[in-house]
Chain A
Amino acid sequence: MILLSISRQPRRLGVVNAGLEIRMKYLCLVYLEKEKWHAVPDRECANCGDGFRKRGMLLAAEPLHPVETATTVRVRNGKVSVTDGPFAETKEQLAGFYLIEARDLNEAIQSASKIPPAREGSIEVRPVRELTP
C-alpha cells in the first residue's frame, strides 16, 4: 500500500523551488517507554490521525503492541531463523507510526509535534525514499 502511493516524489531536487508543489512522504515513528504505553488515551491518537486525514496528509497510521510480542525473522544461507525479540537496551520502544505527506521537513516537524505521544516519549521523523528501478 505504501509503495502504491500516487504522490510525486522529487527526483533529485533537495530544495523546493518556489511555486513547485512537491509532496514528500515522512514516516513519523512514535517511541515510548514501556510504562507510558497507555499514557496517552487511544481516543487522542485517533483524533490526531483524523486531523491529518482531513488536511489530506495521512497515508497510514497504526499503534503497535509492545516489543515483547515481537518476532525477528532472518534468512541466512537460505535458512529461515526465527527469534524472540529484539530486546534492545534502549528504554524507548517503537509504539506506532503515522505515515504522512508534507511539503517539506518543516511541515513534517510541525505535524509531528501535534502527535499526542510527543509529550510523553519522542517522535522520529524519517523521510521516505523512492526505490530506484
Chain B
Amino acid sequence: MAVQGSDAVHETVNAVYVSQSRRVLATLIRLLGDFDVAEEALHDAFRAALEQWPRDGIPANPRAWLVSAGRFKAIDGIRRRSRFDQLDETGPAAELATEDGDAWVEQESVEDDSLRLIFTCCHPALSSDAQVALTLREVCGLTTEEIAQAFLTPAPTLAQRIVRAKGKIRDAHISYQVPSPAELPERLDAVLRVIYLVFNEGYAASSGPSLTRHDLSAEAIRLGRLLVDLLPEPEAIGLLALMLLHESRRGARTNDAGDLIVLEEQDRSKWDQQLIAEGSALVQRALSSRRFGAYSIQAAIAAIHAEAPHASATDWAQIVGLYDVLLHEDPSPVIELNRAVAVAMRDGPAAGLLLVNAILDRGDLRDYRLAHAARGELSRRSGDVGQARVSFQRALSLTKQEAERRFLERRLAELPELT
C-alpha cells in the first residue's frame, strides 16, 4: 500500500471509479443477487475508499478491495435488517457469509461478471426499450437523467422503465448467467441489437441536442469494444467495425448549418483515417472467421466506401455482390432497396430505377421515405423531372427528421422548372 497526499488519493478514487465501478458492480450483483442491493453496496464501497485510502494507502488491487468492502457492507446491512425484521438466520446473509471467499476476485470469473451483466440487461424477456435503458444504466453507468435526455423521454418514464425491468429480473428469476453455447447466437443477437440501436440513436440525429446524442454513439462503441474483448464472436467484431466505419464519417456528414451531406458529396479528407483503419482490420477479422453475418457484411460494404479515395472510385460491383450476400443472409425490402441503388451506381440510373419501381410497386416500402427519395434521385438522374418532383415530395411528407427535411427541400428546389 502506498500512502499519498489526500488530493492525489481522491483523484485515484475518481479514476478507479471511472475505470472499475461497472466491473465491481457486475461482481457485486452476482455475489449479492440483487441489482439495487449491489448498487447501494457499490456506493458504500467507494465511500469507504474515500475514508480509508488516504489513511491506509491505496490497496494493491483496488477492484478486489472494493468488491470485498461492498460485499461486507451489504451483508452487514442485510444482517442488521434481518435482526430488525426478526427473521431467522437462514436468509440471504447466512448464504452469502458461507460462500467461499476467493472465487469472486479471480480474473476469469470477474470478466464473466461483465458478460453476465450485459446478457442479463439484454435478456429477450425484457422489452427492447427496457433492454436499452438498463444496459446504459447498469453497464455504461449513465444516470437515469442522462439516458432520458438522450432519448428525449421524460425522466420519470425512464426511471419507471428501469425499476420495472429490475423487478422482472428479480420476480421472474432471470438468471445472472452467460448463455449456454446453444442459446448464444440468439442471445448475442439481442445484445448486438441493443448496442446498434444505441449507436443509431446517437448517429441518426445530428441537430438539436446533438452533444448528448453523440455521446450515445461513443457509449455504443465503448460497449462494442467491451463485448469484443470479452466475447470475440465474428458478429460482435462485425458490429464494432460497422460502428467505427460509420463514426469515421461523422465530421463529413453535415455542414456547419447541420444540413445532411450525402456520401457521394462528402469531403473525404474529413473522414477519420484512424477509425477507418481500425474498422477495416476488424472487417477482415470478422470475414476470415467464415461464421460472419449481417453486421459483418454491412461493415464490409462500409469499408469499401471508406477505402475509395473519391466517390467515383467506389467499387460498386463489389458492393452489389455484398448486397447479394446480405440479401441471402437477411432478406428484407430495405436491403433490396440499397442493392438497387448500388446497381444504379454500377449500371446507370435506369437499371436501378427499374428495381426501385418494382419494390415500390410490390407495396412493401410504400411508406418508407428513403424508397421515395431513391426513386426521386434516380428519376432526376434519368431526366424524368416530373417523377423526381412527385417522389421527393412524397419522401418529404414522410420524413420526421429536420435535417432530412431540409435536404429534400433543397433537392426539390434544385430541380429544373417544367416547361
Contact = CB atoms under 8 A, between A and B. Distances in A.
Interface of A: 10-18, 20, 22, 24, 103-106, 109, 125, 127, 129
Given A20-B95, A105-B125, A106-B183, A13 B33 contact: yes
A11 B169 contact: no
Given A12-B34, A14-B33, A106-B175, 20 more contacts: A10-B173, A11-B92, A12-B91, A13-B33, A14-B170, A16-B177, A17-B30, A17-B95, A22-B173, A103-B175, A104-B173, A104-B175, A105-B125, A105-B172, A105-B175, A106-B174, A106-B177, A125-B172, A127-B173, A129-B171
Pairs A-B, 6 closest by C-beta atoms:
A14-B170, A13-B33, A104-B175, A15-B176, A127-B172, A24-B173
Nearest to B171: A127
Nearest to A22: B173
Interface residues of B, number: 25
A15 B33 contact: yes
B34 A13 contact: yes
Contact of B34 (A14, A18, A109, A127): A14
Contact of A17 (B33, B91, B169, B172): B33
Given A105-B174, A129-B171, A14 B35 contact: yes
B350 interface: no
Nearest to B183: A106
Contacts of A24: 173
A17 B176 CA distance: 8
6 contacts: A13-B34, A13-B92, A14-B33, A105-B125, A105-B174, A106-B174
Nearest to A110: B183
Contacts of B177: 16, 104, 106
B95 A16 contact: no
A16 B173 contact: yes
Interface of B: 29-31, 33-35, 91-92, 95, 99, 120, 123, 125, 166, 169-177, 179, 183
Contacts of A105: 123, 125, 172-175
Nearest to B87: A11
Contacts of B170: 14-15
Contacts of B176: 15-16
A98 B400 CA distance: 46
Contacts of A129: 171
Q: Which of B30, B123, B173, B174 has the most CB of A within 10 A?
A: B173
Nearest to A103: B175
Contacts of A20: 95
A132 B174 CA distance: 21
B369 to A, nearest CB: 33
Contacts of A106: 174-175, 177, 179, 183
B91 A16 contact: no
Contacts of A22: 173
A22 B170 CA distance: 13
Nearest to A13: B33
B363 to A, nearest CB: 25
B125 A16 contact: no
Given A105-B125, A106-B183, A109-B125, A14 B31 contact: no
A43 B175 CA distance: 33
A16 B176 CA distance: 6
Contact of A104 (B29, B31, B34, B174): B174
B185 to A, nearest CB: 15
B183 A15 contact: no
Nearest to B91: A11
